[in-house]
Chain A
């Protein structure tokens, strides 16, 4: 075969299944995406074919960065639309929720040695122009994690809920659920670990985990628009809200107390 020798020159990693450490420079330059930059944009998406294309092309028109859309087992054409718009698509074999979809993106970033990750929603409520602002907060070294927040858009019910959780967790954040965030490598490493894989929502569990690891979180005010399509996954029905509130309360209470060694052994 003529191309036989050629194929062997590609460095492909079939590492250990839980190995998320950064590969050596040489490896990821060969196997990694073409247009490399320091940061990666990760967009978890589930059935967002109407908006995801515009979100991806908007980012790509402003930044020469790689965009990864994590398709959380959508039943529509989300993955195809995102790929057409120029994103790398990670297609999850089954739905595992917005947070675990995001985590897949973080692990992708670790594998290819990105230093920063910006996450945003696929429904178009976050603007590509906000990316720079929250990224700057992290790149400048001011904080490890920046959360893009738009507190005045919160409904009364959410304000009450967040006040309650602020009390429980002692996190000084007003907009817990914001999916517009920037992480540096330190935060990405923590969140890529196994103990973060059983979290179902990206908000309080994730933020508490970061807080316990001594990672600094800062809120950056940004503008957001109303959702073009779809609806909040959490605040969709009273039953789901009740379930969410109770589950998160249990999570908060079980994590209270002095900082535990989480990174020693990833149970």
Chain B
């Protein structure tokens, strides 16, 4: 069996899984686009593994798998960095949202008490009249 069958199988499986998840709306906007690009690359590299040898030849890398792995690790690190930045942003937003919610809840409670006091005052005045 040719190794190309193995790589095609892995590539198609990966791309299929990604496509399935994107289609199920588990990822939104920019993430979906990123993962579709990844799926495309896995299919190309899976069906035509020699592509990497070709690129290695152009870029002067003598051992092609090294090029593949360095690129893959580099991309993954960048992606992780980006997702940490994003989760910091979310943390900040959610904290501020929580603070604002607490402030509004307190205000709401105070206004309700005021309204209640007004209402009982009014009914007392009405019954006194």
Contacts and interface: CB of A to CB of B under 8 A. Distances in A.
Interface string A146-180: 00000000000000000000000000000000000
Given A12-B107, A31-B107, A104 B114 contact: no
B118 A104 contact: no
Nearest to B102: A90
B88 interface: yes
A70 B88 CA distance: 23
Nearest to B100: A17
Interface in A10-46: 10, 12-14, 17-18, 31, 33
Contacts of A197: 92, 95-96, 99
- Give the size range of B's interface with the partner: 20 to 34
A93 interface: yes
B42 to A, nearest CB: 35
A14 B104 contact: yes
B100 A107 contact: yes
A103 B98 contact: no
B61 interface: no
Contacts of B102: 70, 90-93, 104
- Give the size range of A's interface with the partner: 20 to 34
Contacts of B103: 90, 104, 107-108, 111
Interface in A92-132: 92-94, 96, 100, 103-104, 107-108, 111
Interface string B7-48: 000000000000000000000000000000000000000000
Contacts of B119: 3
Given A31-B111, A198-B92, A103 B99 contact: yes
A89 interface: yes
* B contact patch SS: helix
A250 interface: no
Given A111-B103, A198-B88, A198-B91, A10 B98 contact: no
A228 interface: no
B110 A88 contact: yes
B86 interface: no
Nearest to B107: A31
A260 interface: no
B122 interface: yes
A100 B95 contact: yes
Contacts of A90: 99, 102-103, 105-106
A12 B104 CA distance: 9
Nearest to A31: B107
B88, B100, B111: most-surrounded residue (chain A CB, <10 A): B100
Contact of A194 (B96, B105, B107, B118): B96
Interface in B63-86: none
Contacts of A2: 122
A6 B115 CA distance: 8
Nearest to B105: A91
A12 B105 contact: no
Interface in A225-263: none
A264 interface: no
Contacts of B106: 88-91, 108
B123 to A, nearest CB: 9
Interface of B: 88, 91-92, 95-107, 110-111, 114-115, 118-119, 122
